Structure 1
Amino acid sequence: MLSKIWLYSLALICFVLFASKSFGQDPFENIIQINGVTMTADSLRAVPGVTVLVKNKNRGVESSPMGVFSIVAYKGDTLQFSAVGYRFKEYAIPTDLKGHYFSLIQLMVQDTFYLPETIIRALPTKAQFEYAFRHWSVPDDALETARKNTDALTLRALAYTLPRDGRENQAVYQQIQSVQAMYYGQRPPMNIFSPLSWAEFFDAWKRGDYRRRK
């Protein structure tokens, strides 16, 4: 009888200890922060713009221009790495990791795309090339149209007709303010007393700039 009571007591103690351990566990124990770098497998260069997703969960990040990323997940989750020009990768976070921080270096393997072969050849014979060079009329393509649009006279005419944008207006206004700031507290000079202005006036008079044109 005493042996049965002792067995029942031992079983009850074991159950209480197991239950207290299960219900008293920290709910944040499985959360872990992954800090890592995405690099190429052949040259160990940083791979920017890699999408790092937690599998089957709507969460993810993107690696920086230096290939650095940081994401929070649970122990046992699977991380998915994808980038243009690289093979798809997965990494399963171990469940036996200690602590809440883990460092990871994910190597990305370049994926090669093979395009169909394209052969570019000139005209079959020299005679056909000479005939085409003499008689073919090549229409204006995009390059020729761009050359016409960037002609110096065309750009000058557009500069006289188009209004100034915000940057140009600001530059002109700041230039006027800088000129006015030079004469704060004093009267600005008058061009009627400037020898240089009189010299320019006499030169223009000799050239006939002020003559009445019919």
Structure 2
Amino acid sequence: MKFCLKTVFVLIIVAFSLGAHAQEEPTKKLVQFTGIIQNVDSNVVVPYVTIRNISYRDQFFASNHQGYFSFVAHEKDTIEFTAIGYKTTQVVIPESENNRHSGIVKMEASVTALPVVVVLPWASVEEFNQAFLALDVADDDYLLAKRNLSRESLVAMAREAPLSANELQNYQAISSHQNMTNRNINQRYANPLLNPFAWAKFIDQISKGSKK
């Protein structure tokens, strides 16, 4: 009998404590929270943002590819928005008369300055030292210019390099002049009476008594 009374007394105390706690913290009103998430600088929508209700059981939601979201929460709940490349943003749902709240959530881009990375073709400092010691150091500018202006180098470049427009024009002009000169000489010496060599041969033959 004493055990039963003791158990009933404990149950009464627990029930009274739960009732008092419920009176101290009344149930919050539900609100349909709807909105669009945008970039604070360019007003471009931020897609696929992770949304977490910090104030109520860590409920998770997500926005779609257009940055749109809609879910049920409570008044005064703190909602956290996180996305890759953006700073975490928190919004507190205000009180609403019609059980609905809509708005635009602005998120700021997170810019991180990365250190400069120099990519080298050597895996270690020892390999770099070996490659540096085996490096064939080129001559200075004077020796390089002297080598490039040597006769052998110029002849090789003239043999391989194509002619420029000025060189082609000069070559054609010289060739035309030589052809015209040779043509005039051949025409002049075609007539034996105008050929001085023929006259010299003729006079020589007469002096020698040739009857031809």
Task: Please confirm whether the aligned pair reaches a TM-score higher than 0.5, indicating the same fold.
Answer: no
TM-score (norm. length: structure 2): 0.43
TM-score (norm. length: structure 1): 0.42
Name whichever structure is richer in helix by fraction: 2
